[in-house]
A and B are shown apart, each in its own frame.
Chain A
Amino acid sequence: MTTQHIELTVNGEAREADVEPRLLLVHLLRDVFLMTGTHIGCDTSNCGACTVLVDGESAKSCTMLAVSAEGRSIKTIEGMADGANLHALQQAFWDQHGLQCGFCTPGMIMQASWLLARNPDPTDMEIREGIAGNLCRCTGYVNIVKAIEQAATELRAPASTDAPAEPAVAS
Protein backbone atom coordinates (compact mmCIF):
# COMPACT_ATOMS: atom_id res chain seq x y z
CA MET A 1 0.00 0.00 0.00
CA THR A 2 1.36 3.36 -0.92
CA THR A 3 1.75 5.88 1.81
CA GLN A 4 1.56 9.63 1.53
CA HIS A 5 3.79 12.12 3.24
CA ILE A 6 1.93 14.71 5.27
CA GLU A 7 3.00 17.75 7.24
CA LEU A 8 0.81 19.44 9.78
CA THR A 9 0.99 21.37 13.03
CA VAL A 10 0.04 19.73 16.31
CA ASN A 11 -0.20 21.94 19.37
CA GLY A 12 1.99 24.52 17.68
CA GLU A 13 4.68 22.05 16.71
CA ALA A 14 5.44 21.07 13.09
CA ARG A 15 4.96 17.34 12.61
CA GLU A 16 5.23 15.02 9.65
CA ALA A 17 4.44 11.41 8.93
CA ASP A 18 4.09 8.89 6.14
CA VAL A 19 0.59 7.51 6.36
CA GLU A 20 -1.84 5.32 4.51
CA PRO A 21 -4.68 7.41 3.11
CA ARG A 22 -7.14 5.42 5.19
CA LEU A 23 -5.47 6.37 8.48
CA LEU A 24 -7.86 8.40 10.63
CA LEU A 25 -6.68 11.58 12.31
CA VAL A 26 -7.31 10.08 15.74
CA HIS A 27 -5.03 7.16 14.91
CA LEU A 28 -2.36 9.52 13.62
CA LEU A 29 -2.46 11.32 16.94
CA ARG A 30 -2.59 8.25 19.15
CA ASP A 31 -0.66 5.55 17.29
CA VAL A 32 1.85 7.56 15.23
CA PHE A 33 2.47 10.60 17.41
CA LEU A 34 1.78 8.63 20.62
CA MET A 35 -0.46 11.40 21.95
CA THR A 36 -3.06 9.30 23.72
CA GLY A 37 -4.90 12.13 25.43
CA THR A 38 -7.41 12.10 22.58
CA HIS A 39 -9.71 9.17 23.25
CA ILE A 40 -11.57 6.86 20.91
CA GLY A 41 -15.06 6.28 22.23
CA CYS A 42 -17.75 5.13 19.84
CA ASP A 43 -15.67 5.34 16.64
CA THR A 44 -18.91 6.21 14.81
CA SER A 45 -18.83 10.02 15.12
CA ASN A 46 -21.51 9.99 17.80
CA CYS A 47 -19.77 10.42 21.14
CA GLY A 48 -17.28 13.24 20.70
CA ALA A 49 -14.58 11.71 22.93
CA CYS A 50 -12.08 12.18 20.09
CA THR A 51 -12.86 15.89 19.61
CA VAL A 52 -9.87 18.05 18.69
CA LEU A 53 -9.59 21.48 17.11
CA VAL A 54 -8.67 21.58 13.43
CA ASP A 55 -7.83 25.10 12.29
CA GLY A 56 -9.77 26.25 15.33
CA GLU A 57 -12.96 24.32 14.49
CA SER A 58 -13.90 21.39 16.66
CA ALA A 59 -13.89 18.10 14.82
CA LYS A 60 -14.37 14.45 15.66
CA SER A 61 -10.94 13.09 14.83
CA CYS A 62 -12.38 9.63 14.16
CA THR A 63 -14.25 11.19 11.25
CA MET A 64 -11.37 12.94 9.50
CA LEU A 65 -8.60 11.36 7.50
CA ALA A 66 -5.05 12.16 8.51
CA VAL A 67 -4.34 13.08 4.88
CA SER A 68 -7.22 15.55 4.95
CA ALA A 69 -5.59 17.24 7.93
CA GLU A 70 -2.45 17.95 5.92
CA GLY A 71 -1.34 21.55 6.27
CA ARG A 72 -3.82 22.18 9.03
CA SER A 73 -3.25 23.15 12.65
CA ILE A 74 -4.45 20.61 15.20
CA LYS A 75 -4.96 21.29 18.88
CA THR A 76 -5.42 18.42 21.31
CA ILE A 77 -5.89 18.13 25.06
CA GLU A 78 -2.09 17.88 25.39
CA GLY A 79 -1.89 21.44 24.10
CA MET A 80 -4.14 22.96 26.76
CA ALA A 81 -1.99 23.16 29.89
CA ASP A 82 0.89 25.61 30.11
CA GLY A 83 3.56 23.42 31.67
CA ALA A 84 2.37 22.52 35.13
CA ASN A 85 -0.38 25.15 35.02
CA LEU A 86 -3.69 23.67 34.01
CA HIS A 87 -5.84 25.51 31.50
CA ALA A 88 -8.82 27.25 33.10
CA LEU A 89 -11.11 24.58 31.66
CA GLN A 90 -9.01 21.74 33.06
CA GLN A 91 -8.91 23.39 36.49
CA ALA A 92 -12.65 24.05 36.36
CA PHE A 93 -13.45 20.42 35.51
CA TRP A 94 -11.33 19.46 38.53
CA ASP A 95 -12.90 22.06 40.83
CA GLN A 96 -16.49 21.34 39.81
CA HIS A 97 -16.16 17.54 39.63
CA GLY A 98 -16.91 17.73 35.91
CA LEU A 99 -15.77 14.16 35.44
CA GLN A 100 -16.06 10.79 37.04
CA CYS A 101 -14.41 8.16 34.86
CA GLY A 102 -12.77 10.84 32.74
CA PHE A 103 -13.10 9.09 29.42
CA CYS A 104 -15.11 11.85 27.75
CA THR A 105 -13.15 14.65 29.40
CA PRO A 106 -10.50 15.40 26.75
CA GLY A 107 -13.16 15.72 24.05
CA MET A 108 -15.46 17.62 26.39
CA ILE A 109 -12.72 20.13 27.22
CA MET A 110 -11.73 20.62 23.58
CA GLN A 111 -15.35 21.16 22.59
CA ALA A 112 -15.80 23.57 25.50
CA SER A 113 -12.72 25.49 24.38
CA TRP A 114 -14.23 25.83 20.91
CA LEU A 115 -17.50 27.01 22.44
CA LEU A 116 -15.86 29.61 24.68
CA ALA A 117 -13.69 30.93 21.85
CA ARG A 118 -16.89 31.69 19.92
CA ASN A 119 -19.10 32.60 22.82
CA PRO A 120 -17.18 33.79 25.90
CA ASP A 121 -20.34 34.26 27.98
CA PRO A 122 -22.68 31.39 27.14
CA THR A 123 -25.96 30.74 28.89
CA ASP A 124 -26.64 27.39 30.51
CA MET A 125 -28.64 26.37 27.42
CA GLU A 126 -25.92 27.53 25.03
CA ILE A 127 -23.40 25.40 26.93
CA ARG A 128 -25.70 22.39 26.74
CA GLU A 129 -26.23 22.93 23.02
CA GLY A 130 -22.50 23.52 22.57
CA ILE A 131 -21.61 20.13 24.02
CA ALA A 132 -24.53 18.27 22.40
CA GLY A 133 -22.04 16.30 20.33
CA ASN A 134 -20.18 15.01 23.39
CA LEU A 135 -21.59 12.17 25.43
CA CYS A 136 -20.86 11.64 29.11
CA ARG A 137 -22.27 8.51 30.71
CA CYS A 138 -21.26 9.34 34.30
CA THR A 139 -22.05 12.86 35.35
CA GLY A 140 -25.44 13.72 33.97
CA TYR A 141 -23.72 16.85 32.60
CA VAL A 142 -24.67 19.11 35.51
CA ASN A 143 -21.12 19.47 36.81
CA ILE A 144 -19.71 19.68 33.30
CA VAL A 145 -21.95 22.68 32.65
CA LYS A 146 -20.86 24.21 35.97
CA ALA A 147 -17.22 23.66 35.05
CA ILE A 148 -17.62 25.38 31.70
CA GLU A 149 -19.41 28.27 33.42
CA GLN A 150 -16.53 28.59 35.88
CA ALA A 151 -13.96 28.57 33.11
CA ALA A 152 -15.95 31.10 31.09
CA THR A 153 -16.01 33.46 34.07
CA GLU A 154 -12.28 33.10 34.64
CA LEU A 155 -11.36 33.48 31.01
CA ARG A 156 -13.49 36.62 30.73
CA ALA A 157 -11.81 38.27 33.70
CA PRO A 158 -9.22 40.78 32.49
CA ALA A 159 -5.75 39.45 33.11
CA SER A 160 -4.35 41.14 36.16
CA THR A 161 -1.28 43.22 35.42
CA ASP A 162 -0.64 44.01 39.05
CA ALA A 163 1.99 42.20 40.95
CA PRO A 164 0.51 39.63 43.32
CA ALA A 165 -0.47 41.21 46.59
CA GLU A 166 2.14 40.84 49.28
CA PRO A 167 0.97 38.45 51.96
CA ALA A 168 0.07 40.27 55.11
CA VAL A 169 2.83 39.86 57.62
CA ALA A 170 2.17 40.20 61.29
CA SER A 171 4.49 42.78 62.71
Chain B
Amino acid sequence: MIPAQFDYVRPAALHEALQILVDRQGDAKILSGGYSLLPLLKLRLASPALLVDIRDIDGLDDIVETTNGLRIGGRATHRQIHENPVVIAGYPLLVDAAGGIGDPQVRNWGTIGGSCAHADPSSDWPAVLIATNASIVLHSVSGSRTVPARGFFLDTFQTAIEPTELLTEVIIPRAPRPSGAAYAKLERRAGDFATVGVAAQLSLGADGRISAAGIGLTAVAEAPFAATGAEAALVGHEPNEATFQAAGIAAAAESRPGTDSHGPIEYKRAMVKEMVVRALRSAATRAQAQR
Protein backbone atom coordinates (compact mmCIF):
# COMPACT_ATOMS: atom_id res chain seq x y z
CA MET B 1 0.00 0.00 0.00
CA ILE B 2 1.36 3.36 -1.02
CA PRO B 3 0.39 6.60 0.72
CA ALA B 4 -0.95 9.48 -1.34
CA GLN B 5 1.64 12.10 -2.21
CA PHE B 6 2.68 14.61 0.42
CA ASP B 7 5.51 17.00 1.15
CA TYR B 8 7.85 16.40 4.04
CA VAL B 9 9.78 18.72 6.31
CA ARG B 10 11.91 18.03 9.34
CA PRO B 11 12.31 21.23 11.33
CA ALA B 12 15.21 21.49 13.75
CA ALA B 13 13.40 23.53 16.39
CA LEU B 14 10.00 23.56 18.03
CA HIS B 15 9.21 27.16 17.01
CA GLU B 16 9.85 26.26 13.36
CA ALA B 17 7.46 23.33 13.58
CA LEU B 18 4.80 25.51 15.22
CA GLN B 19 5.16 28.20 12.56
CA ILE B 20 4.74 25.57 9.84
CA LEU B 21 1.50 24.47 11.49
CA VAL B 22 0.27 28.08 11.25
CA ASP B 23 1.46 28.61 7.68
CA ARG B 24 -0.04 25.33 6.50
CA GLN B 25 -3.07 25.29 8.77
CA GLY B 26 -5.21 22.25 8.18
CA ASP B 27 -2.77 20.84 5.62
CA ALA B 28 -0.05 19.67 7.95
CA LYS B 29 0.20 16.63 10.17
CA ILE B 30 2.85 15.91 12.79
CA LEU B 31 4.91 12.75 12.28
CA SER B 32 6.35 11.27 15.46
CA GLY B 33 7.12 7.55 15.62
CA GLY B 34 4.84 6.87 12.66
CA TYR B 35 3.24 3.69 13.96
CA SER B 36 -0.22 5.23 14.03
CA LEU B 37 0.07 7.76 11.22
CA LEU B 38 1.79 5.71 8.53
CA PRO B 39 -0.80 2.91 8.55
CA LEU B 40 -3.49 5.60 8.18
CA LEU B 41 -1.65 7.15 5.24
CA LYS B 42 -1.13 3.78 3.60
CA LEU B 43 -4.81 2.92 3.96
CA ARG B 44 -5.53 6.42 2.57
CA LEU B 45 -7.72 7.14 5.57
CA ALA B 46 -5.65 10.31 5.91
CA SER B 47 -3.94 12.28 3.17
CA PRO B 48 -2.33 15.41 4.60
CA ALA B 49 -0.48 17.65 2.14
CA LEU B 50 2.49 18.01 4.46
CA LEU B 51 4.15 15.85 7.09
CA VAL B 52 6.15 17.64 9.79
CA ASP B 53 8.63 15.15 11.21
CA ILE B 54 9.59 16.16 14.77
CA ARG B 55 12.49 13.69 14.95
CA ASP B 56 15.20 16.38 15.11
CA ILE B 57 13.64 18.66 17.73
CA ASP B 58 15.62 18.49 20.96
CA GLY B 59 14.00 18.02 24.34
CA LEU B 60 10.80 16.34 23.22
CA ASP B 61 11.60 12.95 24.70
CA ASP B 62 12.73 13.85 28.20
CA ILE B 63 11.32 11.96 31.17
CA VAL B 64 11.80 13.92 34.40
CA GLU B 65 10.23 13.84 37.83
CA THR B 66 9.42 17.22 39.34
CA THR B 67 7.52 18.35 42.40
CA ASN B 68 4.41 18.41 40.19
CA GLY B 69 4.84 14.84 39.13
CA LEU B 70 6.29 13.00 36.18
CA ARG B 71 6.78 14.93 32.94
CA ILE B 72 7.08 12.80 29.82
CA GLY B 73 8.02 14.39 26.51
CA GLY B 74 5.57 13.68 23.72
CA ARG B 75 8.21 12.00 21.57
CA ALA B 76 9.28 9.57 24.32
CA THR B 77 8.84 6.08 22.96
CA HIS B 78 6.90 3.37 24.74
CA ARG B 79 10.24 1.64 25.31
CA GLN B 80 11.92 4.72 26.76
CA ILE B 81 9.07 4.99 29.24
CA HIS B 82 9.02 1.25 29.97
CA GLU B 83 12.75 1.19 30.75
CA ASN B 84 13.13 4.54 32.50
CA PRO B 85 14.50 4.07 36.06
CA VAL B 86 12.28 6.81 37.52
CA VAL B 87 9.21 5.26 35.94
CA ILE B 88 10.18 1.77 37.10
CA ALA B 89 10.78 3.01 40.65
CA GLY B 90 7.62 5.02 41.11
CA TYR B 91 5.04 4.48 38.39
CA PRO B 92 4.22 0.77 38.03
CA LEU B 93 1.00 1.62 36.20
CA LEU B 94 3.07 3.11 33.38
CA VAL B 95 5.35 0.09 33.31
CA ASP B 96 2.31 -2.21 33.07
CA ALA B 97 0.80 -0.22 30.22
CA ALA B 98 3.97 0.50 28.22
CA GLY B 99 5.09 -3.14 28.26
CA GLY B 100 1.81 -4.28 26.73
CA ILE B 101 1.62 -1.86 23.81
CA GLY B 102 1.91 -3.54 20.42
CA ASP B 103 5.13 -5.49 20.04
CA PRO B 104 8.84 -4.76 20.48
CA GLN B 105 9.20 -2.89 17.18
CA VAL B 106 6.14 -0.76 17.93
CA ARG B 107 7.53 0.05 21.38
CA ASN B 108 10.91 0.96 19.86
CA TRP B 109 9.41 3.71 17.71
CA GLY B 110 5.85 4.47 18.79
CA THR B 111 5.55 7.48 21.10
CA ILE B 112 3.21 8.51 23.90
CA GLY B 113 2.46 11.82 22.21
CA GLY B 114 1.73 10.22 18.89
CA SER B 115 -0.51 7.66 20.52
CA CYS B 116 -2.48 10.30 22.44
CA ALA B 117 -2.78 12.67 19.47
CA HIS B 118 -3.96 9.81 17.28
CA ALA B 119 -6.54 8.85 19.94
CA ASP B 120 -7.42 5.39 18.80
CA PRO B 121 -10.40 4.44 21.00
CA SER B 122 -8.60 1.21 21.97
CA SER B 123 -5.16 2.61 22.78
CA ASP B 124 -3.64 2.16 26.21
CA TRP B 125 -2.08 5.51 27.22
CA PRO B 126 -5.33 7.49 27.33
CA ALA B 127 -6.78 5.22 30.03
CA VAL B 128 -3.60 5.65 32.06
CA LEU B 129 -3.65 9.44 31.73
CA ILE B 130 -7.33 9.57 32.68
CA ALA B 131 -6.91 7.33 35.75
CA THR B 132 -3.98 9.38 37.04
CA ASN B 133 -5.66 12.73 36.36
CA ALA B 134 -2.77 13.63 34.09
CA SER B 135 -2.64 16.70 31.92
CA ILE B 136 -1.49 17.20 28.37
CA VAL B 137 0.62 20.17 27.30
CA LEU B 138 -0.04 21.66 23.88
CA HIS B 139 2.24 24.24 22.28
CA SER B 140 1.44 26.74 19.55
CA VAL B 141 3.14 29.90 18.30
CA SER B 142 1.17 31.89 20.86
CA GLY B 143 2.34 29.84 23.83
CA SER B 144 1.21 26.71 25.57
CA ARG B 145 -1.87 25.43 27.32
CA THR B 146 -2.52 22.48 29.55
CA VAL B 147 -5.57 20.31 29.03
CA PRO B 148 -6.73 17.74 31.60
CA ALA B 149 -6.66 14.23 30.16
CA ARG B 150 -10.30 13.90 31.22
CA GLY B 151 -11.22 16.62 28.75
CA PHE B 152 -8.79 15.73 26.00
CA PHE B 153 -10.13 12.57 24.33
CA LEU B 154 -13.31 13.86 22.75
CA ASP B 155 -14.40 11.13 20.37
CA THR B 156 -13.02 8.40 18.12
CA PHE B 157 -9.72 9.81 16.75
CA GLN B 158 -10.81 13.23 18.05
CA THR B 159 -8.91 15.22 20.66
CA ALA B 160 -8.75 18.75 22.01
CA ILE B 161 -5.64 19.51 19.89
CA GLU B 162 -6.14 22.44 17.53
CA PRO B 163 -4.61 22.22 14.03
CA THR B 164 -1.94 24.76 15.02
CA GLU B 165 -0.95 22.93 18.20
CA LEU B 166 1.65 20.29 18.92
CA LEU B 167 1.47 17.87 21.86
CA THR B 168 4.79 18.37 23.65
CA GLU B 169 4.36 16.74 27.02
CA VAL B 170 2.17 14.82 29.40
CA ILE B 171 2.30 15.47 33.14
CA ILE B 172 1.32 12.72 35.53
CA PRO B 173 0.76 14.07 39.03
CA ARG B 174 2.21 12.26 42.00
CA ALA B 175 -0.60 10.49 43.86
CA PRO B 176 -0.78 11.08 47.64
CA ARG B 177 0.77 8.13 49.48
CA PRO B 178 -0.11 5.46 50.23
CA SER B 179 -1.33 4.83 46.74
CA GLY B 180 -1.17 2.15 44.11
CA ALA B 181 -2.06 1.84 40.47
CA ALA B 182 -2.20 -0.91 37.87
CA TYR B 183 -3.18 -1.59 34.28
CA ALA B 184 -5.20 -4.65 33.32
CA LYS B 185 -5.57 -5.40 29.63
CA LEU B 186 -7.56 -8.13 27.97
CA GLU B 187 -6.19 -8.85 24.52
CA ARG B 188 -7.30 -11.54 22.14
CA ARG B 189 -3.83 -12.10 20.71
CA ALA B 190 -0.36 -11.12 21.93
CA GLY B 191 0.28 -7.50 21.04
CA ASP B 192 -3.26 -6.82 19.94
CA PHE B 193 -5.25 -3.72 20.75
CA ALA B 194 -7.19 -4.11 23.97
CA THR B 195 -10.57 -5.79 24.00
CA VAL B 196 -10.87 -4.03 27.34
CA GLY B 197 -8.16 -1.95 29.03
CA VAL B 198 -8.46 -0.69 32.59
CA ALA B 199 -6.15 1.73 34.37
CA ALA B 200 -6.87 2.01 38.08
CA GLN B 201 -5.33 4.18 40.76
CA LEU B 202 -6.21 4.18 44.46
CA SER B 203 -5.05 6.29 47.38
CA LEU B 204 -5.71 5.21 50.94
CA GLY B 205 -6.56 7.47 53.86
CA ALA B 206 -5.28 7.21 57.43
CA ASP B 207 -8.30 5.04 58.27
CA GLY B 208 -7.34 2.57 55.55
CA ARG B 209 -10.31 3.47 53.40
CA ILE B 210 -10.01 4.59 49.80
CA SER B 211 -9.54 8.36 49.81
CA ALA B 212 -9.21 8.89 46.06
CA ALA B 213 -9.74 6.70 43.01
CA GLY B 214 -9.16 7.01 39.29
CA ILE B 215 -10.47 4.54 36.71
CA GLY B 216 -9.73 4.99 33.00
CA LEU B 217 -11.29 2.60 30.50
CA THR B 218 -10.26 2.00 26.92
CA ALA B 219 -11.77 0.07 24.01
CA VAL B 220 -15.30 0.05 25.45
CA ALA B 221 -16.67 3.38 24.23
CA GLU B 222 -16.27 5.77 21.32
CA ALA B 223 -13.25 7.17 23.20
CA PRO B 224 -11.32 6.32 26.35
CA PHE B 225 -13.18 7.70 29.35
CA ALA B 226 -13.21 8.09 33.12
CA ALA B 227 -15.49 5.60 34.86
CA THR B 228 -16.76 8.14 37.35
CA GLY B 229 -19.50 5.85 38.63
CA ALA B 230 -16.89 3.25 39.51
CA GLU B 231 -14.73 5.91 41.13
CA ALA B 232 -17.69 7.01 43.28
CA ALA B 233 -18.27 3.39 44.29
CA LEU B 234 -14.71 3.23 45.63
CA VAL B 235 -14.12 6.45 47.53
CA GLY B 236 -14.85 6.17 51.24
CA HIS B 237 -14.95 2.39 51.19
CA GLU B 238 -12.61 -0.31 52.40
CA PRO B 239 -10.33 -1.60 49.64
CA ASN B 240 -11.82 -5.09 49.66
CA GLU B 241 -13.35 -7.54 47.21
CA ALA B 242 -16.92 -6.35 47.75
CA THR B 243 -15.90 -2.78 46.99
CA PHE B 244 -14.00 -3.84 43.88
CA GLN B 245 -16.98 -5.87 42.65
CA ALA B 246 -19.28 -2.88 43.15
CA ALA B 247 -16.87 -0.70 41.18
CA GLY B 248 -16.67 -3.31 38.43
CA ILE B 249 -20.44 -3.44 38.14
CA ALA B 250 -20.61 0.36 37.96
CA ALA B 251 -17.88 0.49 35.28
CA ALA B 252 -19.66 -2.15 33.19
CA ALA B 253 -22.87 -0.14 33.39
CA GLU B 254 -21.24 3.09 32.23
CA SER B 255 -19.31 1.45 29.37
CA ARG B 256 -20.62 1.87 25.85
CA PRO B 257 -18.97 -0.98 23.94
CA GLY B 258 -19.88 -1.99 20.42
CA THR B 259 -20.11 -5.47 18.98
CA ASP B 260 -17.10 -6.29 16.80
CA SER B 261 -14.62 -9.10 16.15
CA HIS B 262 -13.48 -8.88 19.77
CA GLY B 263 -16.92 -9.92 20.95
CA PRO B 264 -20.52 -8.87 21.57
CA ILE B 265 -21.59 -6.06 23.88
CA GLU B 266 -22.65 -8.38 26.71
CA TYR B 267 -19.28 -10.10 26.72
CA LYS B 268 -17.42 -6.81 26.75
CA ARG B 269 -19.45 -5.49 29.67
CA ALA B 270 -18.72 -8.68 31.59
CA MET B 271 -15.04 -8.27 30.81
CA VAL B 272 -15.08 -4.62 31.92
CA LYS B 273 -16.30 -5.76 35.32
CA GLU B 274 -13.70 -8.50 35.55
CA MET B 275 -10.78 -6.36 34.38
CA VAL B 276 -11.74 -3.49 36.68
CA VAL B 277 -11.71 -5.90 39.61
CA ARG B 278 -8.31 -7.28 38.58
CA ALA B 279 -6.80 -3.83 38.14
CA LEU B 280 -8.16 -2.75 41.53
CA ARG B 281 -6.77 -5.82 43.28
CA SER B 282 -3.30 -5.07 41.92
CA ALA B 283 -3.59 -1.37 42.68
CA ALA B 284 -4.72 -2.07 46.25
CA THR B 285 -1.88 -4.52 46.82
CA ARG B 286 0.58 -1.90 45.66
CA ALA B 287 -1.06 0.75 47.83
CA GLN B 288 -0.93 -1.48 50.91
CA ALA B 289 2.79 -1.98 50.29
CA GLN B 290 3.28 1.78 50.77
CA ARG B 291 1.55 1.89 54.15
- Is B8 in contact with A63, judged by CB distance below 8 angstroms? no
B5 in contact with A45 (CB, 8 Å)? no
Of A52-60, A75-83, A89-97, A145-153, the one contacting chain B is: A52-60
A1 adjacent to B5 (CB under 8 Å):
yes
CB distance from B62 to the nearest CB of A (A): 18
Chain B CB within 8 A of A161 CB: no
The stretch that binds A, out of B12-20, B34-42, B88-96, B204-212, is B34-42
Which residue of chain B has the shortest Cβ distance to A60 in the bound complex? B105
Most buried by B among A24, A51, A114, A130: A24
Which residues of B lie under 8 Å from residue A130 when comparing CB positions? Answer: 104
Give min CB distance, B106 to chain A, whole Å: 7
B289 interfacial by beta-carbon distance below 8 Å: no
Contact, CB under 8 Å: B8 / A21: yes
**What's the minimum C-beta distance from A122 to chain B, rounded to whole angstroms?**
12
Q: Is the CB of A68 within 8 A of B5?
A: no
A38 at interface (Cβ–Cβ under 8 A)?
no
Q: Is the CB of A65 within 8 A of B103?
A: no
Report the separation of the CA atoms of residues A132 and B102 in the bound assembly, to the nearest whole angstrom: 9
A68 CB to nearest chain B CB (Å): 6
CA distance in complex: A3, B288 (Å)? 59
Name A's B-contacting residues (CB within 8 A). 1-2, 4, 20-22, 24, 43-45, 48, 51, 57-60, 62-65, 67-68, 70, 111, 114-115, 129-134
6 contacts between A and B (CB under 8 A): A21-B6, A22-B41, A111-B105, A132-B191, A133-B106, A134-B103
Chain A residues near B7 (CB, 8 Å)? Answer: 2, 21
Chain A residues closer than 8 Å to B102, beta-carbon distance: 133
Question: Of A20, A21, A57, A132, which contacts B109 at CB under 8 A?
Answer: A57
Q: Which residues of B contact A2 (CB under 8 A)?
A: 7
Contact B39 A63 (CB under 8 A): yes
Extra 7 A-B pairs, beta carbons < 8 Å, given A21-B51, A133-B102: A22-B2, A48-B105, A60-B105, A63-B35, A67-B8, A67-B53, A129-B104
Q: How far is the CB of B222 from chain A (nearest CB, A)?
A: 23
